[in-house]
A and B are shown apart, each in its own frame.
Chain A
Amino acid sequence: MNPVLKVEDLSIRLPEGADRPYAVNKLSYSLYPGEILCVVGESGSGKSMTANAVMGLLPKAIQVDKGAIIFDGKDLISLEEKRARDLRGNRISMIFQEPMTALNPLMRVEDQIGEVFLIHSDLSKQQRKARTLELLKDVGLPDPEKAMRVYPHQLSGGQRQRVMIAMALALEPSILIADEPTTALDVTTQAQILHLIKELQRKHGTAVMFITHDFGVVAEIADRVVVMQYGDMVEIGSREQVLNQPQHPYTKKLIAAVPPLSAPDREIEDRAGQSPALSVKSLCKTYVSPGGWFKPARTVHAAQDVSFDLYRGETLGLVGESGSGKSTVSRCIVRLLDSDSGEILLGGSAIQDLDHKALAPFRKQIQMVFQDPYASLNPRKTVGRIIADGPIAQGVPVAEAMDRARELLKLVELPETALDRYPHEFSGGQRQRVGIARALAHNPQVLVADEAISALDVSVQAQILELIDTLKKKLNLAVLFVVHDLRVAAQVCDRVIVMQHGKIVEAGNTKAVFEDPQHTYTQNLIASIPGADWRSEHQPTAVGQPA
């Protein structure tokens, strides 16, 4: 079989001063008709670069050094810009990660898709409309007639991605390039979109180049896999080959870092006699956006009657999709948000109504690790000050606080020299270590980790998880782990709480919840995890193909 797209000895040069000379180095692979080729790698591996070169989307500072991308017998790189553009629009199309920004917010869905036909075909207005409707039906949008007339902001993230896919498939391209199309989506939506892409690919025989960082997604969708590291292709092979018998040490390392989807056996301590470090009782929080003259007021119940206990030395997972209220709950607990009703007992004292001053002594007992390692450290402060400023604000002498900061750096396995350096000199994982050190500066009893590893690469994730676990044991911490990734939850949590629409739908020991979920939502959630069958000793009960 002839490949539809052939990448030959492709090297793309990075501008001077980058961390390596080439974004991709001597890359060669082929994409065959009717297959899904997954390009996997961590951030900075250059996995998106080839796709960008195919689409002519490389930034000006980055140039193709040598090599060719052969499509339909023509080299896309040396081809004249206008003719290459014709090929791109007609025969190769792309979907992007962020469906929010990839659609024009001022155009109705109908016009947005119709525009593709307007530019690349000579269909009449009626024909364009009919084709658009057909496409929307194809991608499974509910009520496609109505969907024609709406604006992007009226659609959910998953629906927007469906519109994007409809646009990409409008001209029946031979190649569809998907750059992390499901990364911004919730796990159940992701499962639906992956299913859709696979189904459409079968139906139309399109070749798909699927770029992702998630091995779960690879296991779910790929026919063949390319693994990238620092711009080099380290491994290529069929899905079974790469996932189950990886050859290259880097692939092995990456796959080993993917947490298996099964909870390990854990000793369940009897907590009957102990008093909880943190106790939350019927916590409620409602957001009200005031109505105007023409729109009714909107209320969102972000937390409804949420109750749980957290003991020292255990990790409690708070699991749910976006909008489930898990972040609201965690922010209410640390008093970044005020709750409407209910009680938050920290070491036995109610803290939900304390004002700024009265709260100060309790701040030491409960601390938080944030999600974004880039936004959570003040770029104008040295790491030492970032860690020490909390205790200093609480009245600890500067010298003592700095000594303590030095100890904390050792505790989170960073060199002492980090003390006088600024955050931008560190990698994401190192920054997250600094964030943890800052949270530990007060010797807290309760540590709230708000999606603390979501922004990190999978191999770094594993290290940070291990660090949190070690610290938990060493310092006898109570850890509340807010997380959307069920694989992670299965690995690190002793107990989990599953939230949906602000309510707790299921709670229990991790192993029990994962092996025998009771609530339909939990069942759905677990079934939606990409690559669920791969690397799990216990297959979760399937609940039919999600729609």
Chain B
Amino acid sequence: MSILRKLSTNKVALFGLIVLVFLVLVAIFGPYLYETSPWKMVNRPFMPPMENTDLMLGTDTMGRDVLAGLVYGARISLLVGLISTLIALLIGVPLGATAGYFGGWIDEALMRFTEIFQTVPSFALAIVIVAIFEPSVYSITIAIALVSWPPVARLVRGEFLALRNQEYVLAARLNGQTNRNIILREILPNTLSPIIVMASLMVATAILLESALSFLGLGDPEIMSWGYMIGAARTVIRQAWWLSFFPGVAIAITVLALNLVGEGLNEALNPKLSGKRES
């Protein structure tokens, strides 16, 4: 509750939050209100925006409604971003926590394993994974998750390393609490702030990754997404600018909003930073 209040005092972050809430509402309810299938041909191809009041953003190369594509694309972009981040956290947090808490050879082994993923360029790895499996929402989500967990593991490991020798953790050990209890109840709650901040920024990165994959034609062929729209329109960018412009703006706004919220969260959750801002 107090986090929300602190966020609301930061105008920039509040703006990001409002945009984000709007996007989420569009993603959830948009397809019900806007029932035109994004794949359906509704009018002549290459209709510029504002020409027809029913088709505010015009039509694409096949005469499909661009606005419908945006609305349906919002759902897939946010969904892929959220779920892949969630999976990445589910891999990265336990791994980093184990490495940081136990240290020694466990730490060495887990961190070398993490480095294998970090040394491969993440986008190339994502392409390979999607190409090996069939391009589908699932494989894309998993591919993004698999390339984005290493920074989480590193962050959580660092936090655990710093906190595991805090006196309250020592006291818990003296109390005879199990390692599992100490990790979950004593240390993890105290590392949540940086994890939340990182997660909000990871959603933004995941959306960009998904768009990039779809742009390269590695998206799910069944599903309309922003990246796919740009990719399909790139050959006609000089005749029909609006086909790549609007999805591009959508991506930019979403990522910007997430970054603003992330930054705001960082300030709200990190007492040292928020103190600086006041002075």
- Chain A residues within 8 Å of B, Cβ to Cβ: 15, 59-61, 334, 336, 356, 359-360, 363-364, 367-368, 370-372, 375-381, 386, 389-390, 393-394, 435, 438-439, 441-442
CA of A375 to CA of B178, assembled, Å? 20
A389–B185 contact, CB under 8 A?
yes
In the complex, are the beta carbons of A363 and B176 less than 8 A apart? yes
Specify which chain A residues have a CB less than 8 angstroms from the CB of B168 in the assembled complex: 375-378, 386
Report B-chain residues with C-beta under 8 Å of the C-beta of A390. 172, 174-177
Q: Which 8 A-B pairs have the closest CB atoms?
A: A390-B175, A376-B167, A363-B176, A61-B279, A370-B167, A380-B189, A393-B177, A378-B168
B residues less than 8 Å from A386 (CB atoms):
168
Q: A376: which B residues are within 8 A, CB to CB?
A: 166-168, 170-171
Given A61-B279, A378-B190, does the pair A363, B170 have CB atoms closer than 8 Å? no
Shortest beta-carbon distance from A146 to chain B in Å: 35
Q: How many A-B residue pairs have CB under 8 A?
A: 67
**Does the CB pair A372–B279 fall under 8 Å?**
no
Inter-chain contact A334/B178, CB cutoff 8 Å: no
Instruction: Please pick, from B171, B186, B279, the residue contacting A368 in the complex, using a CB distance under 8 A.
Output: B171
Write the chain B residue with the least CB distance to A359: B176
Interface size for B (C-beta < 8 A) is 20
Instruction: Tell me, yes or no, whether B51 is within 8 Å of chain A by CB.
Output: no
Which residues in A have their C-beta under 8 angstroms from that of B170?
336, 368, 370, 376
Q: Which of A60, A364, A377, A380 has the most CB of B within 10 A?
A: A380
- Asked whether, in the complex, the Cβ of A393 is within 8 Å of the Cβ of B181, the reply is yes
Q: Are A336 and B174 in contact (CB under 8 A)?
A: yes
* New A-B contacts (16) at CB < 8 Å, excluding given A393-B176, A393-B177: A60-B279, A336-B170, A336-B173, A364-B176, A368-B170, A368-B174, A375-B167, A376-B166, A376-B167, A377-B168, A378-B168, A386-B168, A389-B172, A393-B175, A393-B181, A438-B171
Dominant SS among interface residues on chain B: helix
- A364, A389, A439: the one contacting B177 at CB < 8 Å is A389
Q: Which residue on chain B has the smallest CB distance to residue A395?
A: B176
Closest-CB distance, A361 to chain B (whole angstroms)? 8
| Contact between chains at A334 and B174 (CB < 8 Å) | yes
CA gap between A334 and B173 in the complex, in Å:
10
Q: B186 to A360, Cβ gap below 8 A?
A: no
Contacting residue for A372 out of B167, B172, B189, CB 8 A: B167
Measured in the bound complex, the distance between the Cα atoms of B43 and A7 in whole Å is 83
B278 within 8 Å of A by Cβ?
yes
Residues of chain A lying within 8 A (CB to CB) of residue B190: 378-380
In the complex, residue of chain A having the shortest beta-carbon distance to the beta carbon of B178: A393
User: How distant is the Cα of A380 from the Cα of B172 in the complex, in angstroms?
Assistant: 14
Interface residues of B in 157-209 (CB under 8 A from A): 166-168, 170-179, 181, 185-186, 189-190
B190: nearest chain-A partner, CB-CB:
A380
Which residue of chain B is the closest to A391 with respect to CB atoms? B175
Q: How long is the Cα–Cα vector from A37 to B250 in the complex, in angstroms?
A: 67
Q: In the bound complex, what is the Cα–Cα distance between A381 and B176 (angstroms)?
A: 17
Residue of B nearest to A60 (CB): B279
25 contacts between A and B (CB under 8 A): A59-B279, A61-B279, A334-B174, A336-B170, A356-B179, A368-B171, A368-B174, A370-B170, A371-B167, A372-B167, A375-B167, A376-B167, A376-B170, A377-B168, A378-B168, A378-B189, A381-B185, A390-B172, A390-B174, A393-B175, A393-B177, A394-B175, A394-B176, A438-B171, A442-B175
0/1 string, B106-117, CB within 8 A of A gives 1: 000000000000
Query: Which residues of A sit under 8 angstroms from B177, Cβ to Cβ?
Result: 389-390, 393
Give the residue name and chain of the A residue nearest to B176 (CB). Answer: A363
Chain A positions within 8 Å of B178 at CB level: 393
Are A375 and B176 neighbours in the complex by a CB distance under 8 Å? no
State whether A360 touches B174 (Cβ < 8 A): no
Residue on B nearest A361 in the bound complex, by CB: B176
Minimal Cβ-Cβ distance residue in A for B168? A378
Contact of A367 among B166, B174, B189, B279 (CB under 8 A): B174
- A61 — nearest CB in chain B belongs to which residue? B279
- Contact among B166, B172, B189 for A375, CB-based, below 8 A: B166
B170, B189, B190 — most chain A CB neighbours (10 Å): B170
Contacts of B185 on A, CB cut-off 8 Å? Answer: 381, 389
A165 to B59, CA, bound (A): 77
Q: Return chain B residues, CB-CB under 8 Å to A61.
A: 278-279
Residues of A within 8 A of B171 (CB): 368, 370, 376, 435, 438-439
Q: How far is the CB of B231 from chain A (nearest CB, A)?
A: 46
- B272 → A minimal CB distance (Å): 13
CB-CB nearest in chain A for B186: A378
> Within the complex, what minimum Cβ distance (angstroms) separates B95 from chain A?
22
Given contacts A59-B279, A375-B166, contact A389 B174 (CB under 8 A): no
What distance in Å separates the Cβ of B108 from its nearest Cβ neighbour in chain A?
Answer: 14
- How far is A364 from B174 in the complex, measured between Cα atoms in Å? 8
A378-B185 Cα distance, complex, nearest whole Å? 10
A389 touches B279 (CB 8 A): no
- Find chain B residues with CB under 8 A from A60 CB: 279
* Closest Cβ neighbor of A363 among chain B residues: B176
Q: Give every chain B residue within 8 A of A336 (Cβ-Cβ).
A: 170, 173-174
- The answer for the CA separation of A59 and B178 in the assembled complex, in Å, is 44
In the complex the two chains form, what is the Cα distance from A371 to B177 in whole Å? 21
Determine the distance from Cα of A301 to Cα of B144 in the docked complex, in whole angstroms: 51
Q: How near does chain B come to A377, taking the closest CB pair, in angstroms?
A: 6
- Residues 262-279 (chain B) with a chain A CB within 8 angstroms: 278-279
Chain B residues closer than 8 Å to A367, beta-carbon distance: 174
Chain B, residues 85-116, CB within 8 Å of chain A (1/0): the string is 00000000000000000000000000000000
Q: How far is the CA of A370 from the CA of B178 in the complex (A)?
A: 20
Docked complex Cα distance between A435 and B175 (Å): 12
Alpha-carbon distance A141/B271, docked complex (angstroms)? 41
Residues of A within 8 A of B176 (CB): 359-360, 363-364, 390, 393-394
A378 cross-chain contacts in B, Cβ below 8 A: 168, 172, 186, 189-190
Q: How far is the CA of A363 from the CA of B175 in the complex (A)?
A: 6
Q: Which residues of B contact A389 (CB under 8 A)?
A: 172, 175, 177, 185
Q: Which residue of A lies closest to B187 (CB)?
A: A378
B residues near A442, Cβ cutoff 8 Å: 175
Q: Which residue of A lies closest to B166 (CB)?
A: A375
Most chain A CB within 10 A, of B166, B174, B178, is at B174
Q: Once bound together, how far apart are the Cα atoms of A394 and B172, in whole Å?
A: 12
Q: In the complex the two chains form, what is the Cα distance from A542 to B172 in whole Å? A: 45
- State in angstroms the CA–CA spacing of A435 and B167 once bound together: 10
